[in-house]
Structure 1
Amino acid sequence: MRTACRIAAKLFFFVLAAPGIAQEAGTLITGARIFDGVRSDLIEGQDVLIQDGMITAIGPDLDAPEGATVIDAQGRFLMPGFADMHAHLMFQMPFGIAFNADREYWAYVAATVAEQYLMQGFTTVRDVGGNSFSLKRAIDEGILVGPRVYPSGPMISQSSGHSDHRTDANEPGSLVFEPSIPMKYFHVAVADGRDEVLKTVREVLRRRASQIKISVGGGTGSFADPLDTTQYTEDEIRAAVEAAEDWNTYVTAHVYNSDGIIRAVENGVKSIEHGNLMSEEAMRVMMEHDAWLSPQVIVYTFHPAGYNDEQKAKHDEAYDGINQMFTMAKELGFENIVFGTDVITSPEMIKRANEEFVLRTEWFDNAEILRQATSKSAELLALSGPRNPYPGALGVIAEGAHADILLIDGNPLEDMSVMTEYEERFDLIMKGGVIYKNEL
C-alpha cells in the first residue's frame, strides 16, 4: 500500500510539474507528539498550524482556516527537519570520474544528491566546499528539489593545502599554475599570502556565500598534506576572518590537529570542521572563545571511492581520534556541537547518511543528538547574520519558525534506528510549508 501511495504521489508531482505541493490555505497538523528541537520531553495535545511557509500557531484544538489541509498525525513523532552541517553536494563522484567530467555532469549528479538529502529528512545543509551557488538558486526557485543550502563556495587553502588537488603530473606552481579540475570549476580555491586570501574571500562573498570555509590543517582526501601539518599563517587566517567579518559573517575551518585548531580559533575562526585529533588544550581554547565543533563519524567508517593507500591511512588515523574527542567533550561539558556527515564521492553512501544518528549514540544520548541535528545546528547557522539566506528560526517547532517538519512513525528518543528507516517511517516531509512527501 505504501509503495502504491509513493508511486501515485510521484505521478501527481510529475503531472503538476512542481517539486512539491504548496498548501495555499495552510496546513493544520493534529494528534502529534512533538519534539520541539530543544526539550527532551515530548509535547502532547498541541496542534501545529502552518501558513505561508511558517509555523503561525501551536496550541490545543486549533481551528483550521477555510480551505486548509488537515493532517491527523495519529500519534506520530513530529520534529524539525534535520540540518547536515558538513555536506558536499557537489562532490558525490569518485575522484577518477570527477576529475574527468565537465561542469554539467557535476551539476546533474549534485541535483540528484540534493533531492536525496531532502527525502531523508535533511531540510537544511551547510555546504562546506563546492560551487553550489546555482544549485541553491535552482532549489530556492522551485526548479529543483532539495534542502535549504547555506553555501560556503570553494574551500580555500594554501598551496600544498587541503584544497590543492594537483598531482605529481602538474608543473610546479613557481613555473606555471595548472589548476586542478575542482579548482577550475570553483569547487576549491588556492590562495597564498594576505593579499591573495583577501581577494579570494571577497570573490566568494561576491557569489553570496553564507559563510567562508578555509583549511588550516591537512586532510584525508587531498594528496599532499599530512594531518599533522598546520596551514595558513596567523596573518592569512586573520585576512580571511577580517574579510568575512566586514560582510558580517564568519569563517569555519577544516582541521584535525591541535596546533591548527588553536591558531584558527585564536585568530577569529568561529567553527572547527572535524577536530578529531585535538588535545584538551585545544578544546579548552574553543570553549574559551565560544567556538563551535562540527564533527562527523560516518565518513570515517568507509574509504571514499578513489582513495589511495596514503589517503586511506590518513582516513583511518582520523577515525581513531573520534572516541577521544567525543569522550573529552562530555567530560569537559563542551556542548557547542552540531550534526554533520561529510559523505563524499558516493551518492549511494548519501543514502546511508542517517546512520550518523545511530553512530553518535556511543557518546551522546538520543535527545542530545536530536538537538545537535536541529536547534544546535540552527544556532551555528545564525552566525551568518545578514548573510543568512533564510532569516528566521530554524531547527525548532515554535511559533514564528520556518515550517520544516517531519512526521515519523516511531520515536527516535527511544530508538534511534528509526532514523535509518526513512523510506518506511518518514511519513511527512515538509520544507517551508511545502509538502514533499505525505503518506498519511
Structure 2
Amino acid sequence: MPPATPPSPLMAHSLRHGHGACSCGSPLLQRFHERMMAEISRRHFLGGAAAVMALFAGLHAPSAVGEKPRERKGPLLLTHLRLFDGSGSPLRDNVAVRVEAGRIQAILPGDADPEGAEVIDCGGRVLMPGLIDAHWHTTLAAITQVAAMTADVGYVHLVAAREAERTLMRGVTSVRDVGGPSFALKRAIDEGVVAGPRIFPAGAMISQTSGHGDFRMRHEVPRGTATPLSEQERQGVAAIADGEAEVLRRTREQLMLGASQIKLMAGGGVASIYDPLDSTQFTERELRAAVEAADDWGTYVTVHVYTPRGIQRALRAGVRCIEHGQLADEESVRMMAGEGAWWSLQPFLQDEDANVYPDAARRESQRQVTEGTVRAYEMAQRFDVNTAWGTDILFSPQNTPNQLRHLAKLTRFYDPLTVLAMATGRNGELLALSGPRNPYPGTLGRIEPGALADLLVVDGDPSRDLDFLHDPERNLRLIMKGGRIHKERLGEGS
C-alpha cells in the first residue's frame, strides 16, 4: 500500500497535550495517533527505520551554548579593524568605532585617542552589524512536529529559549517573528533572564477559515457560535477570523499583547493539506480592516502569499510587506515597486535545505515555488523592489544550525556586500516600519552614530565571498548586542 499522507508541517503548530484521567478514546489521542502513524509511514517510506528513529530526536534536551554576557561599565573603542557599516558600501580601513551606553557613539580615525575607553583590538578583522532574520519563528523553529504535538507547552518554550541563545550565537542579533507565541520569550530576553536576539513579534498568525493558519482537523468542522477555540488558537499560534469585525478583533488582540507588526495569511501554501497553493484568502475588505487597525497603532500588516492575485489584492488593501511571493508576475512586482512595499523573500531552492514531500501534489507545488524563487530574485532587482532576507525555518531542529547558509546562498543572485547589506541595514529599515510599536527604538543593522551597538567581528572578507557564514562558531570572533559582549575570541588564532 502507498504510504499515508503526512500531516502538514504547519498543522503541527497545534501544541497539544492531555490532562487528567485516561483519554484513550478522546479526539486528542485519535488525532495524535493519526499524525504519528502518518509521520512514521512517511519517514519509513523516505529513509527506512533510521529515519523513523530520528523522528524522536527532538525530544532530547539541547546542550548548553554561549557564555555569560559581559557589559563593560565604561565606553569601548574597537580598533584595528575593517568596517562594513551595513549600507553595502565597500569596506573602510583606518577607522575605529566607539561604543557607549549600548550605542555607537562615534566612528573615528584609526589612531584616535581612547579618551578613557577600554580598547578592543579586532586584529585586522571585519567589524559589521549584527545580522537580522526578517522571517523567523522563534517558538517553532527548533522543535519537531511530534514534540510540538505531545510535549507540555512549558517544554516547547524552554526549547525555544535555548534556540534563541543559539540564534544569537550565530550572530543573528534581531529577528522579525512572523507567527507564534513569542511574547513571553521576548520579555525574558529583554529582561536578561535568557540570552537571545531582539524579537519583533507578530503574535498569532491571523487566518480565515480554511486558510493557511487554520490547523484544525476535519472532525473539528463545522465551528459553532459556542464552539471553544482550537488548541493552536489558545496557545497563540494562530487566530481564525472571518469577516471584517472578526479580523478587527483578532488584529487588535495581537496589538494589545504587544505585536510590533501584524501577520495575515492571504494565500495557500506548499506544505498544507487543506488550502491549495493557488488559493486566494481573505477578501480585500477583510485585509483592509487589519491594515486600518494596524495603522491606527502606527504599524503595518505583512501577509503570507504566493500568487499574483493574492499579492495584488493585499497591496490594494494597503499591506506593506509580502512574505514569499515566489509566484509573482511582472505586473505584481511592478505594483510592489510602485507602492514602495517590501518583498520578504526566502531562498526556497531544491537543495539540501528543502523539505521532502512524499506526495506528487506537494512536490509539484514545491517545484513551482523553486522555479519562482529564481525569477523572483531577478525581478526584485530589475524593478528595484525593497527586498528583505529571511529563512522561515520551521519544525527543523536539524536545520536551525544552517540558518546563515540561507544567507550565503544568495550570492547566486547578488554580490556578497549587497547580500550582507540586505541582512543588516536593509532588514533594519524593514524593522523600522513598526514605527511607535518598535520595541527597540533606534537604528538597527547599521554602524553609525546613534545606532544600537549590535556588532560582530568576523574572520572573512565579505567583499569576496560569504563563506565565513558556513561556520559561525569558528568565524564569529566577537558578538555584541546592545553593548553587551556575548562572545569574545579575538585573541585566539585562526
TM-score by length of 2: 0.82
**Alignment match, 1:233:** 283
Partner of 2:70: 21
Q: Which residue of 1 aligns with 2:98?
A: 49
Change (3 A) 1:288 1:193: same
- Give secondary structure in 1 for the equivalent of 2:222: coil
Q: What SS does the aligned partner of 2:92 have?
A: coil
Cα offset, 1:297, TM superposition: 1.3
Match of 2:298 in 1: 248
Instruction: Judge conservation of contact 2:340–2:385 (CA < 8 Å) in 1.
Output: no
Identify unmatched segments of 5+ residues in structure 2: 1-63
What are structure 1's unaligned runs of at least 5 residues? 1-9, 14-18
CA distance in 1, matches of 2:149, 2:363: 19
1:420 deviates by 1.2
CA distance in 2, matches of 1:300, 1:223: 21
Query: What amino acid is aligned across from residue 204 of structure 1 in structure 2?
Result: Q
Given the alignment of the two structures, is residue 95 of structure 1 paired with residue 145 of structure 2, yes or no? Answer: yes
Q: Distance in 2 between matches of 1:262 and 1:368?
A: 27
2:463 counterpart SS class: coil
The residue number in structure 1 matching 2:192 is: 142
The residue correspondences of 1:148-297 to structure 2 (distance < 5 A) are 148-174=198-224, 177=227, 179-297=229-347
Which deviates more from structure 2 when the two are superposed, residues 104-113 or residues 311-320?
311-320
Is the deviation greater in 257-266 or in 179-188? 179-188
SS in 2 for 1:297: coil
Change (3 A) 1:183 1:304: farther
Pair 1:75-2:124 in alignment: yes
SS of the equivalent of 2:310 reads: helix
Counterpart-to-counterpart distance in 2, 1:54 and 1:348: 35
**1:54 touches 1:433 (CA, 8 Å); kept in 2?**
yes
Is 1:87–1:341's contact at 8 Å kept on the other side of the alignment? yes
Aligned residues: 424
Deviation track 1:75-106 (CA, whole Å, cap 9, x = no partner) reads 10111001000000111323232122332121
The structure whose Rg is larger is: 2
Query: 2:96 is matched by which residue type in structure 1?
Result: D
- Whole-angstrom distance in 1 between the partners of 2:249 and 2:435: 22
User: Which residue number corresponds to residue 389 of structure 2?
Assistant: 339
Superposition deviation, residue 312 in structure 1: 4.8
Q: Secondary structure at the residue paired with 1:124?
A: strand
For residue 64 of structure 1, give the secondary structure of its aligned residue in structure 2. coil
Q: 1:255 to 1:25 in 2, by over 3 A?
A: same
User: 2 CA distance for matches of 1:132 and 1:309?
Assistant: 34
Aligned partner of residue 94 in structure 2, secondary structure: coil
Aligned AA (1:31): H
**2:387, 2:481 → 1: CA distance?**
24
Q: Which segment is superposed worse, 206-215 or 86-95?
A: 86-95
Amino acid at match of 1:27: L
TM-score, length of structure 1 as denominator length: 0.92
What's the counterpart of residue 5 of structure 1? Answer: none
Distance 1:221 1:177, change over 3 A: farther
- 1:361 shift after superposition: 1.2
| SS of corresponding position for 1:75 | coil
The amino acid across from 1:153 in the alignment is G
By how many angstroms is 1:299 displaced? 7.7
Secondary structure of the 1:57 match is strand
Distance 1:191 1:175 in 2: 13
Q: What secondary structure is seen at the aligned counterpart in 2 of 1:276?
A: coil
Alignment check: 8 A CA contact 1:95 1:305 kept: no
Query: Aligned letter for 2:470?
Result: T
1:369 equivalent in alignment to 2:419: yes
Q: CA deviation at 1:176?
A: 6.8
Q: Does 1:328 align with 2:379?
A: yes
1:323 aligns to what SS in structure 2?
helix
Would you say the 8 A contact 1:171–1:177 is kept in 2?
no
Secondary structure (helix, strand or coil) at the match of 2:163 reads: helix
Query: Residues 405 and 430 of structure 1 are in contact (CA less than 8 Å); yes or no, is this contact kept in structure 2?
Result: yes
* Alignment CA distance shift 1:94-1:175 (3 Å): farther
**SS at 1:242 equivalent:** helix
The superposition leaves residues 328-379 of structure 1 with CA deviations (integer Å, 9 ceiling, x where unpaired) of 22232x2400111001111221100111122111111112111110111111
Contact 1:123–1:146 (CA under 8 A) maintained in structure 2: yes
Q: CA deviation at 1:179?
A: 4.6
What are the equivalent positions in structure 2 for 1:21-40 lying under 5 Å apart? 21-40=70-89
Q: Distance in 1 between matches of 2:151 and 2:446?
A: 40
